[in-house]
Amino acid sequence: MAAKKNKKIDIATAGALDGVTHGFLGRIGGVSTGLYESLNVGLGTDDVRSDIDTNRRRALEAVAPKAKLVTLHQAHTPDAIIVTKAFPDNARPEADGMATDKPGLALAILTADCAPILLADSEAGVIGAAHAGWKGAMTGIARSVVEKMEELGAQRKRIRAAIGPCIGRGSYEVDDDFRKRFEAIEEENGKFFRDGAPGHHYFDLEAYVASWLAYLEIGTVETLDLDTYTNEDRYFSYRRATHREEPDYGRQISLICL
């Protein structure tokens, strides 16, 4: 994993995706202020809309300046779609994963603790992107986006995937009921939890998402190991904002483009 600055925008990249236009962006380099400082790209926030639009343009220009930005109405589902064109902001389909074989489309995922997944089969000319919170991860968003990539000619063994900045295990405290949901699906899921205070555990979302990709027999999987909660200067975090009783929180963006 390498990090670089581009016009003051913080971009993390994955070695697994070398040769593919992509970037996991942080919160630095935008125009928003206050809770949203500074590269907030979330249309669902109460930030100034013109600032959000400026930030989205800056993010796209930093990674794929000639592309069209494609975002979804993310809803923590296991649903993925095939994308052939960009959508108006007010007509984004409800889904949490997408795939395309069309050059010039920058598939983008918005997060603030959930895990962004970027995927590519360069030989087939197919890319994918997914938003994996615990609910989407548990119900199969990784499988859904891989299947959509396969419909476009990708092969699992050729797919390279990277999991971007998300909440780290040491920051993700959950209760017994949360853990039991995962162990009810498969007892081995207990390995993704570390015991905390009585009745509480720490969940490793990144490792859980990586295990799904490994189960799907993806050729290469890289984790960036960047904790959105503890890296306050670099990333927005829903959980951090909640713990501080802040009324809202920004979103960062991850992009991939042919």
CATH of the domain at 87: 3.60.140.10
Residue 88 belongs to some domain of the structure: yes
- Tokens at 149, concatenated: 């990539």
The answer to whether position 125 is within a domain reads yes
In a domain, 48, yes or no: yes
Above pLDDT 90, what percent of the chain?
A: 97
Over 70: is that where the pLDDT of 5 sits? no
Q: Is residue 220 part of a domain?
A: yes
Taking the C-alpha atoms of residue 67 and residue 76, their distance in angstroms, rounded to an integer, is: 26
- Tell me if 51 is assigned to some domain: yes
Q: Share the mean pLDDT of the chain.
A: 96
Residue 236's pLDDT is what? 98
DSSP string, 47-105: S-HHHHHHHHHHHHHHH-TTSEEE--B--S-S-EEE-SS---GGG--B-SEEEE--TTE
How many angstroms separate the CA atoms of 230 and 251, rounded?
15
Mean per-residue pLDDT, 246-253 = 98
Counting the structural domains of the chain, the total is 1
Domain with 75, as residue range(s), is 9-168+204-257
Asked whether residue 178 is assigned to any structural domain, the reply reads no
As a whole number of angstroms, the distance between CA 140 and CA 130 comes to: 11
Residue 179: inside a domain, yes or no?
no
Q: With bands split at pLDDT 50, 70 and 90, how would you rate the model's confidence at 1?
A: very low
pLDDT-derived band at 4 (thresholds 50, 70, 90) equals very low
Rounded mean pLDDT, 153-178:
97
* pLDDT tens, position by position, 72-84: 999 999 999 999 9
Q: Is residue 196 part of a domain?
A: no
Please tell me which residue, 1 or 44, carries the higher pLDDT value.
44
Residue 158 burial (CB < 10 Å; 0-12/13-18/19+)? middle
